[in-house]
Chains A and B, each alone.
Chain A
């Protein structure tokens, strides 16, 4: 099957699934109209509605090709970095470092991916930003909590820009016998990891009893974790035919990125709890902020990228 037909098939499938979810949401709302816990159902319905918007946005980006994908993820990074820094303690002396983060390193990282310069995009933030940003911050001549502030700005750039940029970076990999189909790797990653989030939510709501850590997240349960990761590992494996992997490879990779994705959400929840907030922002109705939605992708994308690059790119 050619890549376009595959994409149409996959997106058609997702939309059929979302239609089903919307229908279930409507039935639940109708049946529970006078009953208890309608807040959960309302939240479910807003989440489903937001899923429609996100899937359509991803579809448009894919349709626009590599430029569309790079721009979509640059925008997502921008929004995530906003949310991250907004909840982080910085001082006036950090203003220059923040300006460089938002207006230099973020666009440059995505530009390097657009022009396919692996040697630089893979070290831009871990090497150059890591060394230059604290220099700018030190020129602010304010030593109050200096190391903490420098570390937080760097961490925000790593999570929100560097890690997320590995999603469009998948388009730069030259895999033998897979030319012109790299978009399907993006679809595989996003679909697997996001379905893991969805199934963790669903299994957690249906069976969840044992909290993994009540101090970090009241909604993450052992049942949700196991059910979600296993279900979406099967989802990933079921899509092996559109990847360069065989069935067991696809399953193993799906398992890896799902576990990473879970811990992405877990680590970022720990930061949110420490800051005393529930969500990173309010941009996506029902889900919270942008970073709430892509934390799992941020942790899984670089690992996925390097697995593919190490074993499939000659």
Chain B
């Protein structure tokens, strides 16, 4: 087994032990279909947790989409992002002449992989969910074959909030909802609202 795979399973085991994560599939099943998992974003560990909760055969074909500005700094982060997780690193402020994030994601889907994305675009420090960036809509238009699956991540933002060095070992859960896709004629705003509402519907009742 390659070292990357050992590192990947070690990280998964650590994430599972730390968070006691429980995956609840209420609207879909862990099938080997091509999918875009989209989730709320509170912590850098978010994609690790989703990735770790997928059955191994799905995990091997699922790539997290992450910001190049964070993950290409230093030498350890690029290694983890590129080699261990096979991440799709996108430029959050794209330059003309380089491939746009949507093109990069579409290419990854065209190669047969599934994706994990965080359509809020940045980590949310408050409650609830920020408005979605338009990437999810363009991706849904560019590659309509993939199912869009909302995934609500509960508690991870409290385990490891932005700026914290030591995590607190709270129990996390992931709720996988029903697949949705972009309707023909559906406007960008309407689709993004619908996708966001589908994600929020998976959250436990607010306090």
A contact set with B: CB distance below 8 Å: 78, 82-83, 85-86, 89-90, 92, 95, 98-99, 102-103, 276, 281-283
B33 within 8 A of A: no
* Chain A residues in 8 Å Cβ range of B207: 89
B169 within 8 A of A: yes
B205 within 8 A of A: yes
Separation of A99 and B171 alpha carbons in the complex (Å): 14
List 11 additional A-B contacts (Cβ < 8 Å) besides A83-B171, A281-B171, A282-B22.
Answer: A82-B20, A85-B168, A86-B170, A89-B207, A90-B158, A92-B161, A95-B158, A95-B164, A95-B168, A99-B168, A276-B205
Category for how many chain B residues contact A: 10 to 19
B169 touches A82 (CB 8 A): yes
Known: A92-B125, A92-B161. A99 touches B166 (CB 8 A): yes
Taking chain B's interface residues, is the majority helix, strand, or loop, or is none over half, making it mixed?
loop
Q: Which of A78, A86, A102, A276 has the most CB of B within 10 A?
A: A86
Residue of chain A at shortest CB distance from B154: A86
A86 touches B164 (CB 8 A): no
Q: How many A-B residue pairs have CB under 8 A?
A: 34
Separation of A85 and B168 alpha carbons in the complex (Å): 10
Q: Which of B22, B162, B166, B170 has the most CB of A within 10 A?
A: B170
The residues in B between 150 and 189 inclusive whose CB is less than 8 angstroms from any CB of A are 155, 158, 161-162, 164, 166, 168-172
Q: List 14 A-B contacts (CB under 8 A).
A: A82-B169, A82-B170, A83-B171, A86-B172, A89-B207, A92-B161, A95-B161, A99-B168, A102-B169, A103-B166, A276-B205, A281-B20, A281-B171, A282-B22
Residue of chain B at shortest CB distance from A83: B171
* Chain B residues in 8 Å Cβ range of A102: 168-169
B96 within 8 A of A: no
Q: Which of B125, B166, B168, B171 has the most CB of A within 10 A?
A: B168
Separation of A99 and B161 alpha carbons in the complex (Å): 12
A82 touches B171 (CB 8 A): yes
* Chain B residues in 8 Å Cβ range of A92: 125, 158, 161-162
Q: Choose one: A85, A103, A282; the contact of B170 (CB below 8 Å).
A: A85
Residue of chain B at shortest CB distance from A282: B22
1/0 contact string of B19-42 vs chain A (CB within 8 Å): 010100000000000000000000
Separation of A182 and B155 alpha carbons in the complex (Å): 41
Q: Which of B158, B172, B205 has the most CB of A within 10 A?
A: B158
Q: How far is the CB of B25 from chain A (nearest CB, A)?
A: 15
Separation of A98 and B155 alpha carbons in the complex (Å): 14
Residue of chain B at shortest CB distance from A281: B171
Q: How far is the CB of A32 from chain B (nearest CB, A)?
A: 29
Residue of chain B at shortest CB distance from A78: B169
Q: How far is the CB of A126 from chain B (nearest CB, A)?
A: 22
